[in-house]
Amino acid sequence: MIGLVQRVRHARVDVDDKTIGEIGAGIVLLLGVQKHDDEVTLQRLLQKLLNYRIFADDQGRMNLSLLDVQGQLLVVSQFTLAADTQKGTRPGFSRAAAPEHARELYELFCQKAGEQVMVQTGEFGADMQVSLQNDGPVTFWLEV
């Protein structure tokens, strides 16, 4: 499971010119599910994400987590994160999970995250437009 994590001041995701998810300060997570992923990898990524210390403390140091700052989370499915880009000039997607498996884990991830923080989502498999104000910018690649 791969997560591209962006600390944001605010963000939203639109489908067909309609906003379907919107957050204030927190994290945008672009979530890629690979075919070998399961509930164990899901839990590992979720715990790492929620506890990853990327928010500033009183001294301006990245020492606080999303849980610490009571931030919000926007989760957007993105199968292209599982792309193999090692050869040639066209990405391959053989490492990406099948759509049914990916949808199941994506929805479970959002549900479990929602038990701990406020979560908004994109629409699995849709053509989405994501708008955000990256804070920092602070961006991390998490892979478990």
Reported pTM: 0.96
| 47, 80, 111, 133: the active-site residue | 80
Give the confidence band of 105 by pLDDT, cuts at 50, 70, 90: very high
| 6, 34, 72, 79: the active-site residue | 79
Indicate the burial class of 22 (C-beta count within 10 angstroms; 0-12, 13-18, 19 or more): middle
| Fold exhibited by the domain 2-143 | D-tyrosyl-trna(Tyr) Deacylase; Chain: A; (3.50.80)
Domains of the chain by residue range: 2-143
Give the confidence band of 72 by pLDDT, cuts at 50, 70, 90: very high
Q: Examine the residue annotation and report whether 80 is marked as an active-site residue of this protein.
A: yes
pLDDT tens digits for 34-59?
A: 999 999 999 999 999 999 999 999 99
pLDDT of residue 119: 98
| 78, 109, 120, 121: the active-site residue | 78
Q: Examine the residue annotation and report whether 85 is marked as an active-site residue of this protein.
A: no
Concatenated DSSP letters for 75-87?
EEE-GGGG-B-SS
Q: Examine the residue annotation and report whether 93 is marked as an active-site residue of this protein.
A: no
pLDDT of residue 34: 97
Give the confidence band of 92 by pLDDT, cuts at 50, 70, 90: very high
